[in-house]
Structure 1
Amino acid sequence: MDYAAFQGVDAVGLAVSTLATVLGQNLIDVAAATAALGQTLTLLILDNLETLQPQALQELLTVAKQWSEVGQCRLLLTSRTPNFYHSDYAIEGSLKHRSLPLSGLGQEDALAYIQSLWKLPPSPVYKLPERKELWRLFRLVDYHPLSLGLLARQLKIRPVAELGERLAALIVETPDNPLLASLNLSLERLDDEARELLPKLGVFQGGAFEDDLLAITEFSNSQWQQLRPALENTGLIQPENVPGVRFPFLKFHPTLAPVLWSRLSPEAQGELLARHRLRYYQLSRHLYVEDRKNPHQARFIAQKELPNLLYAVQGALFAGEEWALEFVNNINWFLNYFGLNNDRDALTQRVEKVQGKVGSWTWFLAQTNVGQQLLKVGRYQEAAQVFGEILVALGEQPSYEHCMILNLLGRCLLDQGQAAQAARYYRQALAVVKQLEQSDDVKWLMNISQTELADVLTDMGNYDEARTAYEASLAIDKEIENFRGVVVINGQLGSLALRQGNLPEAEQRYREILTISQELNEPGMEAAAWHNLGMVYEKAKQWDAAEDAYRKSARIQESQGDLGGAASTWNQLAIVNENTGKQKDAEAWYRKAISGAKSTEDKLQVSISLNNLSGFLQNQPHRLPEARQLAEEALAIKQTLDPAVAEIWTNYGLLAEITDKQGDSTQAKAYRRLSRQAKVAFAGTRYELRQYGQLIAAVVAAVNDAEVRQQLEPFLENQVKNGWGNLVAAIRLVLEGERDEDVLCEPLVGTDAPIINAILRGIADRNTLNELLEEQG
């Protein structure tokens, strides 16, 4: 379990999730994981524990100690801070836990390492010394791998005896730091001019692309042509060529920059820092724009330069640069994609302290950043309040910023299940953006509005309008060469295909997105792709594939601290387990999903999981009261949300079933009526009815035409055999003159009631059939 990039708060949860994936079992909590480890010999490696917050670390260590005592399992921990300050992990005096500091390489390993480096350029002037000579040299630096790497370069150009004598003298100067002595040994081989220029490299964080390095240091071409080969030959820098990038990335030896920085005067440091901040701000602007067209390249450069970018943006905030907030916005764009939530949150906290005049650009950027982070963590109402205040300050004049805030307000409402209100904001945003001069940036913003509106229309069941909006957005993406946008829209079209039952198309689109998300190193997109693939496999009843996909999604979401997303995936895992007969696991997953959704105040997901758990428990007669209580709790939540997004008819239908089983027929009948009315009112029901358009029209025609009725009868008789008994009985009652919808629909479920409703509307007004028949054609 690698915690190097862990962004969540539940380190134990990530460990359980990782174990579940590796062992291929349902492991919902620590107890389940402990039981599984009792059956499987396992070495648990908890890696990079120094990154965890104190409370998360203590919780993980307590559980890990318990796991280490199960069966024959063993536990290995790695950390740069070996004292965990935990009673079960004593540093000394115990054989249960042993702290083993990493020392230098063994003799043979060190020799093999040097031999491998000897094969690399540059070609050696001297031959490789004998073993004993090498070992005497290596002992001076305690066989430290980083020191050995530097010595290997020096051995190629200096006699081993001379090298050993000089190294020993340098170690006397820095007795507690043989690595520094090795570095100084390499530096002293440079000429006087090179050593004078070299300290400027101290401003960089581990390396830099060559063009950035030259712009910041202001080395002349001739100076750099002399300095670079010397640095390469001594092993102090290592060039890495990047496909599609003109300049190489120059990776520094880990000790180089810190040593060099200390050799600069405060005045020289200040000048370098100012140039460093400005250059990396300019790079962030370039990458932000380029990410739309060439995300692979932009992400690669951003990842390579991320240490410099973060160092520079922190410096810009501290220095109060006028462009600091735009710098933060550009960097957060990539931190979000890379899943580096802790770094993003730290920047946001710094931004919150920046003051600016209300209505100013500085104020706008700061407030927008605050609202976006509130939105990301599920604090929708607070985010909406922030965006509302920004909108008031912007006034009525159409602007890019005006449209941007309208989109964000739409997202706040959509995530709260208020689809109709969200759609209004997106339509307002589109109206505003159409009044602006149509630059690529404006078209990109229009694209966002179209996409968000399409999402809302999909949730509301307006599938045709949604596809039209997605395709309009896709056209804009292609026009402005927004590669990532094309990927996102294809994913949305995949979701639309899934809703419409086109599983092959949905799987194909999600598989493409999965591949691209892994190439882009975008964990959020990868988690969504796995979740959506799980939905495809679940619908196809490929249960093992569905469970595997959901587990992978949940593990990524937990590692990113996305408990809202994880709760949705846990709910799907519960459904899969219910369908495969794993009753105990299913209930546990449902309860975990409810708890996770409540922790993020996701009302819609809480209601969905409550409803699902209720439906699961109603099949156990002794638990009917509990099932009803859960269903009523879910209904109370859904009544505060948009009925279409919440699919409230499912709650009414479930409560009808439960109250029927409890013998409360009057209440059951009332719930069934409410369910029918809500389902008929749902715009997506019209789409579902298209496949029955010919049947509906035929029944309407048969009401007053005996010949048509005679032709229809064999079809109805055959459909009885296919499980349409209740629907066919209702249709025959219609043909015999019954028009009371409650009487006709009382025994019907699912789409049957809307079919009868459509038939009755068609009898009253045949024009209502046109939409169904035209679409069918």
Structure 2
Amino acid sequence: MRRRLPNTRVLEVPAVATPIRILLVSARPEDEACGYIDHRVSALPLVDAMEDLGGLVDLQILEPATLPALRAALNRAQDARAPFHVVHFDGHGTYDRQVGLGGLCFEDPRDGAQLERRRHSTVYTDALGPLLRDHRIPLVFLEACQSAEAQRASESVASELLKVGVASVVAMSHSVLVETARRFVLAFYAALAAGRRVGDAMLAGQCALKDDDFRGTLLGAGDLRLEDWFVPVLFQEKADPRLFTAAAARVRADLKLALRGRLGAVPAPPETGFIGRSRDLLALERLLSRGRWAVIRGQGGEGKTVLAAELALWLVRTRRVERAAFVSVERHGRVGAVLDAIGRQLVGADYSVAAFKDLELAILPVERALVERSTLLVIDNMESVLLPPFIARDTPPALTEEARLDLTAILALCARLAAQGETRLVFTSRESLPAPFAAADHRRELHRLDREDAVRLVEKALGRETGGAGAAAEAARTAIEQLVESVHGHARTLALLAPALRDRGVEATHRSLVELMVEMERRFSGEREQSVFAGVELSLRRMSAANRERALVLGVFHGGVQLVVLRLMMGWEEAECAALGDELIGTGLATADPYNHLTLNPALCPYLRRRLDPARLESLTAGWGRAMGQYVGFLEQQQHQNTEVAATLTGLELPNLFALLDQVRAAGDAAATIDLTTSLYSLLRWLGRPRLLGLVGQVRDAAALALGDGSTHAGFEAQRTRIEQQLAAGRLREALAGAETLLQRARAAGVGAYPGADYDLAMACFLLARVLETAGGAEPALPLLAEARQGFESISRVRDEKAAEGMTSACITERGDCLLSLGRLDEAATAYEEGICRDEQRGADRDVAIGKLQLGTVRLQQGRYPEALAAYADARERFTQLDEPGTVATAWHQTGMASQEAGEPEAAEDAYRNSLAIEVRLGDVAGQADTLGQLGNLYNDVLDRPEEAVAFYRQAADKYVEIGDPAKEGAARNNLALALRGLRRFDEARREVRRAIECKAPFGHASEHWTTWGILADLETDAGDPGAAAEARGKAIDAYLAYRRDGGENHDGPGRLALAVTQPLLAGDPAAAASLLQQFAARPALPEALRPFIQSLQAICSGSRDRALAATPGLDYTMAAECLLLIETLEAAGR
């Protein structure tokens, strides 16, 4: 529909090139004169159109929606030579009959500090018109309720704007659906961008509405179809201008694809779409326009995460921030993990906290990224480290202390990031945050859904469940509104009510709920959990009387329950436990987990606890403790039979397990406490919870101190688990000293010292062997493993212990590790295959996975790379199923090594970074250091990027310092010195070598310190100091020769060649030795580096015993040592 109106002032409207620059004015005053309108009713269709039209439309939203802000925005655009082509006003309009002028209701500039209920300021056309004229705005789009309904069109806002020179005004004659506006706007602006005249664009928009009258579906009423094509009206002078030239020749940008990349890990909207919360969304937009941070606070299930995600999506879509990043503290609960997740979204997928010496350095690239581009950071689920009071009261102290430490560090990080550039920060939390994010005026409380929004939520939920049909779907709107009011618009309660609505209907549910809320007010007066508890009680009332009574015992549990524990605790039949579980799930009070475990509604246990009288609470708590003790034994048994069951249930039962630890510790029985901590250590060690393991260790050590120094199984277990923790943390010296002491005490006590002392003696042998192998002493570890295996096999035969049978397999696998370290690859493979076979027969899934992982390493060293990669992939899948993220990280690390050796550097880097990301999330510093070292090798040896390799090596060394592992620090500094030497940074390289020598000194041959002296010799040669080079070379030769004299093996080519020559020489057959060397020298692919070595060996075969042969030019220090060793061996044998 078009209305021609006279234009008393004709202004030329030149056609310009796209993009169409639109200034959207969404004025949302709210006072007696202006009711609230969803602030995105026009903005959403406009943004959709902008994205659908690629780069042809450029939208800017005016903030704040005041006349001074409009004038400033128009001036800025003009000064930047990018003037707006369209001013799109969305809000209230008015017509003053007394003065004969139309006006638009802007927000009052005096209320800019208010988040809500800003007063209106009417701007009449006598003020608005000249402003638009002066800035030559060719098109104004009005969505104001009275803008096209004035009694005299020539006196309306539209006509007044035409009078002062605006060429075209589009107005909506009636309120329209969002879907109608979206379709019209998309077609209208697409036609404009294609170079069509305004009138033709108007017709295109109206045709889009006329040709398809479907506008959606109404609950219980089917399709919604409207003939609303006539609602948009075009006011125009006689001329119908063409505002834009033909569509740009350049390819349209795929904005929607680019948008996903700018949203980082922000969750997608729910399937039902984002419902309501317009006031909250607008308030947050206003808050972040004048401040740097906001907290969205609300009870569980109110939609905090959905609101925060929608805010991020909206601000990015409307280009008020360039990008967003999202991290859930529930999953990334440590400060390093939070920073790592943010960095991977903002800096790049290659970012890793582990790649920096400390957190301070790791923050810097993230800060730079924030300065360079405006960003919204969403930190979700802060309640994970800030427990609500009604849950915190019943949470074990170990878990609450862990949360407190995490909270302090995360808040400090967030405060720092929020200060960078134009960064904005949004938290979601069930509770208020402490300083520096405690200010009440930065907090948006989600008290309840608006009635309209809540009704829509119920309708959508029911419509989705019933397909738009059935009794619930046809419920009267009035009844739904009453129901919503009864629960004060609480979203989670409404969700809990859905089954009751389906079963009983709206009216019956409402009557029950009114009675219940009165009771909640009486029992929990003034507490903000009333609505939560009301929803819980309503669900309990839907259960049978018998199961409602049984459910009371859940008051002594903590967030979850395994039905086996209920049977042990109460003596109920399996069918009774199952019936209770079914009803809890059916009423929404529990969620079914694997293996008969239930995760309970967070409010259920606290609510039921308050209903128990003191005597019954005490009795049930005691029974719960006994049942949980038996359950811990069951979990340990499952570790040997079905590791996935043990890992899954342990993770689900952490609150109950640590509550049990508190109970046992409080009883004061040191031996019982050690027994429990030993069990918890075994259950937790592979779950990636190092801080909880540390807390368990503290409780264990305190109990061991109370126990004294006598020979007991509890004392042995306390020492054993302490050593294993030290070994896992890379504290090799402490672990080695502890393991040696433990074995000495076990031998001194003897196998009859106490029941199970024979098992402990075998375990002490095994543990020392494992520590030795880790420290590089694979050879002395082998006899200890043989002794341990013999002990466990004897126990298995005599007592038929499953644990001893499992340890026998462990001895075989550990022997494979030692053989692998010694380079005896075929023997190692045989050992691993034997261990795997035994473990498969025992059904020990985890042990099988470990064997597969190690067998992959053998294949890697054998050069059978496809087999290695397949083995690692198999192991990764198994450990993923077992929910062992730490071992998954190890498998990724090994995958990277295999890919690197297979000539696939990109795949190798991806694998290393996958490993690193998991290690950062888990806080595994030792694992981070290992992976950083491998990244250094990749960059230095394969990618030829030595500067970056230096950074990786340095970071690895720093992390070994952090965990107190000097042996590995020395190895890392070796690599660092090599890279620095390649860059000819000799002074730096020399410092690193000297430090590596210091690190390796206490560890003897295990540290391979001859390699460090060899590096120093090469370094001094390159630096032009032959004297220093000769000195270092001499020390390298001495060190390596000492290792070989002490029985150390050389599996490299020169070592194998020397061994091959030694045998015939000792047998008195120098001719055979000479022939062998001659054949070897004749090989066409013989490396030139071996020729001097062959010549020296030939001289020895000819009878020379001159030690000066070791100084033959071209020999490296290992070859020189082999020559000297061969001469010594022959002389000792009289040859």
Query: What band does the TM-score fall into relative to the shorter chain?
Result: 0.7 to 0.9
Aligned-residue offset at 1:741? 5.5
Q: 1:550-629 residue pairs with structure 2 within 5 A? A: 550-579=912-941, 580-621=943-984, 623-629=985-991
Answering whether residue 651 of structure 2 is matched by residue 284 of structure 1, we say: no
Are positions 1:338 and 2:701 aligned together? no
Hey, what does 1:174 align to over in structure 2?
520
- Select between 142-151 and 106-115 the one with higher mean Cα deviation: 106-115
Aligned partner of 1:648: which letter? H
Partner of 2:539 in structure 1?
186
1:33 equivalenced with 2:383 (yes/no) = no
After TM superposition, the structure 1 = structure 2 runs for residues 100-139 of structure 1, keeping only pairs within 5 Å, are 100-104=444-448, 106-107=453-454, 110-111=457-458, 114-115=461-462, 118-119=465-466, 129-139=475-485
1:413-462 deviation digits (Å, cap 9, x = unpaired):
44444545544543443354354343332222223333334323433444
Q: Structure 1 counterpart of 2:540, which letter?
A: L
Cα deviations across residues 58-117 of structure 1 (Å, max 9, x unaligned)?
A: 55545545545666665443444442412xx45345xxxx43344545436622563267
How far, CA to CA, are the matches of 1:750 and 1:637 in structure 2? Answer: 21
CA distance in 1, matches of 2:650, 2:542: 34
Give how far 1:597 is off: 0.4
> What do the CA deviations read for 1:699-734 (whole angstroms, capped 9, x no partner)?
999975999699859835x44787766556657777
Give the direction of change, closer, same or farther, for the CA distance of 1:570–1:263 in structure 2 (3 Å limit). same
SS, match of residue 641 in structure 1? helix
1:254 to 602, 606, 626: 602
Deviations 1:214-272 (A, max 9, x none): 442344678768766665554334555x4xx5xx4444333223222222222222332
Amino acid at match of 1:208: V
Query: Contact 1:574–1:589 at 8 Å: present in 2 too?
Result: yes
1:213 matched residue in structure 2: 566
How many Å separate the matches in 2 of 1:203 and 1:490? 42
Alpha-carbon distance in 2 for matches of 1:444, 1:378? 25
- Aligned partners of 1:348, 1:25: CA distance in 2, in Å? 33
Structure 2 CA distance for aligned equivalents of residues 374 and 628 of structure 1: 31
| TM superposition shift of 1:670 | 4.0
Question: In the alignment, what sits opposite 2:998?
Answer: 636
1:526 maps to amino acid:
V
1:750 is displaced (CA, Å) by 8.1
Which deviates more from structure 2 when the two are superposed, residues 689-698 or residues 379-388? 689-698
Which stretch of the first structure deviates more once superposed, 483-492 or 252-261? 252-261
- Structure 1: how far apart are the matches of 2:959 and 2:1080? 52
1:403 is displaced (CA, Å) by 1.4
Whichever residue aligns with residue 715 of structure 1, its letter is A
Letter in 2 for 1:259: Y
SS in 2 for 1:492: helix
| Aligned-partner residue type, residue 149 of structure 1 | A
Q: CA shift at 1:654, angstroms?
A: 0.6
Residues 332-481 of structure 1 mapped to structure 2, 5 A cutoff:
332-354=681-703, 355-356=706-707, 358-383=710-735, 387=739, 390-391=742-743, 394=746, 395-397=749-751, 399-423=758-782, 425-438=784-797, 439=800, 440-481=802-843
- Equivalents in 2 of 1:713, 1:581: separation in Å? 33
| Closer/same/farther in 2, CA of residues 219 and 453 from structure 1, 3 Å limit | closer
In the aligned structure 2, how far is the partner of 1:13 from the partner of 1:127? 46
1:297 — aligned with what?
645
1:672-701 superposed Cα distances (whole Å, 9 cap, x missing partner):
344356557554523645876999699999
Quote the sequence identity (%). 25
Q: How many angstroms does 1:333 deviate by?
A: 2.0
The residue number in structure 1 matching 2:864 is 502
- Counterpart pick for 1:747 among 1110, 1114, 1123: 1114
User: Could you say if the C-alpha distance between residues 102 and 749 of structure 1 is closer, same or farther in structure 2, counting changes exceeding 3 Å?
Assistant: farther
Q: Give the superposition deviation at 1:484.
A: 1.5
Distance 2:766 2:806 in 1: 12
Question: How many angstroms apart in 2 are the aligned matches of 1:707 and 1:184?
Answer: 93
Distance apart, 1:522 and its partner CA:
0.2
Q: CA deviation at 1:606?
A: 0.7
Contact map agreement 1:104 1:143 (CA 8 A) in 2: yes
CA RMSD of aligned residues (A): 4.2
TM-score when scaled to structure 1? 0.83
What is the count of residue pairs matched by the alignment? 752
**Cα 1:527–1:657, aligned 2, differ >3 Å: closer, same or farther?**
same
Cα separation, partners in 2 of 1:16 and 1:319, compared to 1, 3 Å:
same
The range that moved more, 538-547 or 705-714, is: 705-714
Pairwise CA distance, 1:196: 4.0
Counterparts of 2:504 and 2:880, CA distance in 1: 46
Determine if contact 1:653/1:675 at 8 Å carries over to the other structure.
yes
CA distance in 1, matches of 2:1072, 2:576: 98
Structure with more contact order per residue of length (Cα contacts < 8 Å, sep ≥ 6) = 1
Q: Residues 225, 695 of structure 1: CA spacing in aligned structure 2 closer, same or farther, 3 A cutoff?
A: closer
> Whose Rg is larger?
2
Shift of residue 365 of structure 1? 3.5
Q: Which residue in the other structure is 1:531 paired with?
A: 893
Is residue 657 from structure 1 mapped to residue 1022 from structure 2 by the alignment?
A: no
Choose 172-181 or 510-519, whichever is displaced more.
Answer: 172-181
Does the C-alpha gap of structure 1 residues 563 and 38 become closer, same or farther in structure 2, counting only changes over 3 Å?
A: same
| Residue type at the aligned position of 1:686 | H
User: How far 1:656 sits from its partner (Å)?
Assistant: 0.9
Q: Secondary structure at the match of 1:618?
A: helix
Q: 2:1030 aligns with which of 665, 669, 675?
A: 669
Partner amino acid for 1:356?
L
State the alpha-carbon separation in 1 of the partners of residues 744 and 1094 from structure 2. 57
Distance in 2 (alpha carbons) for counterparts of 1:711 and 1:350: 67
Aligned residues of 2:872 and 2:894 also touching (Cα < 8 A):
yes
- C-alpha distance in 2 between matches for 1:266 and 1:582: 69
Q: Structure 1 residue 615: deviation in Å?
A: 1.3
Q: Distance in 1 between matches of 2:1116 and 2:895?
A: 29
Amino acid paired to 1:23: A
- Does residue 715 in structure 1 map to residue 1082 in structure 2? yes
Residues 1:431 and 1:665: Cα distance change in structure 2 (over 3 Å)? farther
Q: Is the CA contact 2:765–2:785 (under 8 Å) kept in the aligned structure 1?
A: yes
**Bigger proportion of residues as strand:** 2
Q: 1:43 to 1:292 in 2, by over 3 A?
A: farther
Q: Is the 8 A contact 1:696 1:758 kept in 2?
A: no
Contact 2:632–2:679 (Cα < 8 Å) also in 1? yes
Between Structure 1 and Structure 2, which shows a larger proportion of helix residues?
1
| Letter of the structure 2 residue corresponding to residue 474 of structure 1 | I
Q: Do the aligned residues in 1 keep the contact of 2:1074 with 2:1098 (CA within 8 Å)? A: no
TM-score normalised to the size of structure 2?
A: 0.59
Letter in 1 for 2:646: A
In structure 2, do the counterparts of structure 1 residues 193 and 660 end up closer, same or farther at CA, with 3 Å as the change threshold? closer
Gapped regions of structure 2 (runs ≥ 5)? 1-326, 357-361, 386-401, 522-527, 752-756
Q: Deviations over 1:191-227 (max 9, x none)?
A: 6555444422323333434343344234467876876
Contact 2:1073–2:1101 (8 Å) recurs in 1: no
CA contact (8 A) 1:530 1:553 kept: yes
Note the C-alpha offset of 1:557: 1.8
Change (3 A) 1:203 1:569: same
Rounded to whole Å, the distance in 2 between the matches of 1:735 and 1:6 is 65
- Is there any run of 5+ residues in structure 1 with no aligned partner, and where? 769-777
* Structure-to-structure mapping, 1:657-736, within 5 angstroms: 657-676=1018-1037, 681=1043, 683-686=1048-1051, 688=1053, 712=1079, 715=1082, 718-719=1084-1085, 726=1092
